[in-house]
Structure 1
């Protein structure tokens, strides 16, 4: 069952908080996390700003006791009120107690009412232990408390801290991994070649819910590379999402998959993706990658992007020959480099793609090339390449959430493989520039993703 409430933090914020909360003196320390929200139905808080309370400003700092200086509560109110940010008061438990003590309850009884009286309908508190693990809870205006079921940290590794569960992480490829995946949700952008194969793997691995986002319909030329598609589907031009949802529900049950027959550039597509714990971008347009970048940053969701291409070359004897067979997998974590800063698209290339898609003749020429650049193949036999790339895409998630590599995950921000040369190359996160323009933890702030085209429709427009 998916968690009712989640607190998501960028890895950089988590690291800064941990360093401050455990200065090495064995005494408790304090900080405040101001959080935006993901639009419903899921209650997901997104760490947006971190206020570090100076150690010397706390009149009491002991091994199991802490006093909160009022001026930092006031600072949190001043900074959070304008955007209605949720304040989470976090402090350390140097002794390792993963839970709230009676002293913590008494402290919250003094500080939380001040926050709720100032603004908002939701604030909370949290504790961190030396390992970096966090447990948190929320307070409503009636002072009722609710435990935050999941705390996520998306960095080189993906951390999932479940409330009340032991600290040990499941081992990769085990039944315990499947049980945890059953509590998580994935969004897949694109339900065609690599997308259908990625979706099939995610469903059989055990993800609790899979959201498929694709506006396109099945055609006969797709049948050699879209899993679960049939002649009847192509004849009736069924939505690709409907085909995949129906197939998944046959072995996972009703409600295990959701189809969104809209573009990822639509408001409906963005809101659907915002509910996920991880996004797999399996589309073949630059616009989809641009949107995946924005969504991942705004809602603190890791994005795994996959692409395949078969470049050709001129050959004196045959005319055209395969130059290479290439697959690429990029792992994008919130707050670091993006697909944009890695050079996968630019404002100029986005504009050129837009013009092609709004020029029917040029659009058809582009589609005719498909996977194989330099030829006109309507139905290329690329399912073996798609299988290889989609498998690497899903295994990238497994390696991050349930680490099994011999080397650190930081070294594998991008993986590129060549089937022609039988080679794999890897690029580390440090090879790419941080994208400082990404809308980190923007949440549901209007307009959605900062794009006027995604503003909420007026009531009269919905009639």
Structure 2
């Protein structure tokens, strides 16, 4: 069953919280988590900030008990009320007991009730054991608790901890157990064309419980040679790419797996649909779409896998066109790590240039730079083999993060580039790029959405 509720951490925040909760003395420690809340068809809590309770401030710190002053609760209430956040009271279980005890229940009956009375929304509590694994729960208006189905930590590795099972490690990659695991997760594929249709085919057959397809284009005759599952009938009927592929997934997997969003990612509707996902694959061909995917992943703490291919060309001395390279790029972006912008995938200048090109319909000479070939226009390039190579590498990158199988740490592979001309493959670590504070991190649905005025609630309603 797909997780209806989840609590999501960026890796750095989870590591800092773990260090505080387990200082090495074997005694319980506590903290207050402040989470942005996203309500779609699923509920997501996104750790935005947390308040450590100093060890010396605790009246009691034992192996199996802790009490701490109310002033830290009051600080949390002030911040949560101002920013619309959900509060989770959190403490460690040094003994490794990953269940809420009767003492925890009794404490919540007082503390969480006070929270709910101070701020009229659901709040809760969480526990952590030394491995970093967590359990969390929310209370309704009658003070009845329900477990948060899934706790996710998005880092170089991606950790999924389920409330209904204890897992020391994820299933082995490429096994049927991995497929069963993926049935509980939601994936978004943004761009369902050359590389995107191949990514969508893979994630559907891997077994993701829900596949969200986002694209605003329709099937055309000229792209039948590179979009999986498309047919002449689809092209003649101008069937939206997402609807065409959703039908294919339904034939493959049955009902209620595919979700078709026939809209541009540059719309509020599409952004909020993608925010439902546990992982996003960006298979787009514009700088603007990559910028939005980049911001979306940061705001909702979603791991992002971005794929691109290119075939640069040049003019020979006798005037013929020739290929310089046949290349692909896969970037893995974790919340809090270097963004696609910091990696140079797009920039304010390139976004502006793309905008000018889009509004200037006569700029044919520059339009060639938007296609597969750099320097040549080709309406129906035969690039499915290149797309297959890149799409497979992109999805395999996710598997390596969620079900680690590499000989080296995943931190070595923030970017993978391959050259089919040179028969080469190389990799970059994150420290290859600068990292700046990301104000969008865990901001969720704060207005304007993703910090983009055109995605704000008022503008979208007006449109």
TM range (shorter): over 0.9
Asked if 2 retains the 8 angstrom alpha-carbon contact of 1:84 and 1:120, the reply is: no
Residue of structure 2 in register with 1:433 after alignment: 434
Alignment of 1:186-201 (within 5 A): 186-201=187-202
Residue of structure 1 in register with 2:455 after alignment: 454
CA offsets 1:269-310 (integer angstroms, 9 cap, x no match)? 101100000000000100011001110011110100000000
Residue of structure 2 in register with 1:41 after alignment: 41
Residue of structure 2 in register with 1:388 after alignment: 389
Residue of structure 2 in register with 1:424 after alignment: 425
Residue of structure 1 in register with 2:29 after alignment: 29
Residue of structure 2 in register with 1:231 after alignment: 232
Residue of structure 2 in register with 1:220 after alignment: 221
Residue of structure 2 in register with 1:81 after alignment: 81
Residue of structure 2 in register with 1:354 after alignment: 355
CA distance in 2, matches of 1:44, 1:275: 8
Q: Report the CA distance between 1:343 and its aligned residue.
A: 0.9
Residue of structure 2 in register with 1:313 after alignment: 314
Question: Structure 1 pair 459/36, CA: closer, same or farther in 2 (3 Å)?
Answer: closer
* Aligned partner of residue 360 in structure 1, secondary structure: coil
2:177 matches 1:181? no
* Aligned partner of residue 66 in structure 2, secondary structure: coil
Residue of structure 2 in register with 1:205 after alignment: 206
CA distance in 1, matches of 2:215, 2:331: 21
Residue of structure 1 in register with 2:324 after alignment: 323
CA distance in 1, matches of 2:321, 2:248: 38
Q: Report the CA distance between 1:251 and its aligned residue.
A: 1.0
Q: Report the CA distance between 1:43 and its aligned residue.
A: 0.7
2:12 matches 1:12? yes
Asked if 2 retains the 8 angstrom alpha-carbon contact of 1:368 and 1:378, the reply is: no
* Aligned partner of residue 38 in structure 1, secondary structure: strand
Residue of structure 2 in register with 1:94 after alignment: 94
Residue of structure 2 in register with 1:158 after alignment: 158
CA distance in 1, matches of 2:204, 2:436: 32
* Aligned partner of residue 189 in structure 2, secondary structure: strand
Asked if 1 retains the 8 angstrom alpha-carbon contact of 2:368 and 2:376, the reply is: no
CA distance in 2, matches of 1:350, 1:367: 16
Asked if 2 retains the 8 angstrom alpha-carbon contact of 1:97 and 1:129, the reply is: yes
Question: Structure 1 pair 396/363, CA: closer, same or farther in 2 (3 Å)?
Answer: farther
CA distance in 1, matches of 2:221, 2:249: 21
Alignment of 1:96-115 (within 5 A): 96-115=96-115
Asked if 1 retains the 8 angstrom alpha-carbon contact of 2:224 and 2:230, the reply is: yes
Question: Structure 1 pair 278/364, CA: closer, same or farther in 2 (3 Å)?
Answer: farther
CA distance in 1, matches of 2:360, 2:280: 30
Residue of structure 1 in register with 2:376 after alignment: 375
Runs of 5+ unmatched residues, structure 1 = none
Asked if 2 retains the 8 angstrom alpha-carbon contact of 1:36 and 1:45, the reply is: yes
CA distance in 1, matches of 2:394, 2:316: 33
Q: TM-score under structure 2 normalisation?
A: 0.97
Question: Structure 1 pair 368/65, CA: closer, same or farther in 2 (3 Å)?
Answer: closer
Q: Report the CA distance between 1:314 and its aligned residue.
A: 2.3
Q: Which moved more, 1:196-205 or 1:357-366?
A: 357-366
Residue of structure 2 in register with 1:142 after alignment: 142
Q: TM-score under structure 1 normalisation?
A: 0.97
Runs of 5+ unmatched residues, structure 2 = none
Q: Report the CA distance between 1:362 and its aligned residue.
A: 1.9
CA distance in 1, matches of 2:350, 2:125: 45
Q: Report the CA distance between 1:461 and its aligned residue.
A: 4.5
Asked if 1 retains the 8 angstrom alpha-carbon contact of 2:287 and 2:351, the reply is: yes
> Pairwise CA RMSD of aligned residues?
1.5
Asked if 2 retains the 8 angstrom alpha-carbon contact of 1:39 and 1:443, the reply is: no
CA offsets 1:50-92 (integer angstroms, 9 cap, x no match)? 1111011001000000102111001101111112200011100
Q: Report the CA distance between 1:316 and its aligned residue.
A: 2.6
CA offsets 1:102-134 (integer angstroms, 9 cap, x no match)? 111121122111111111311110000000000
Q: Which moved more, 1:313-322 or 1:433-442?
A: 313-322
CA distance in 2, matches of 1:113, 1:269: 37
CA distance in 2, matches of 1:394, 1:130: 31
Residue of structure 1 in register with 2:403 after alignment: 402
CA distance in 1, matches of 2:164, 2:364: 53
Asked if 2 retains the 8 angstrom alpha-carbon contact of 1:369 and 1:376, the reply is: no
Moved over 4 A (4+): 457-462
Residue of structure 2 in register with 1:279 after alignment: 280
Q: Which moved more, 1:439-448 or 1:6-15?
A: 439-448
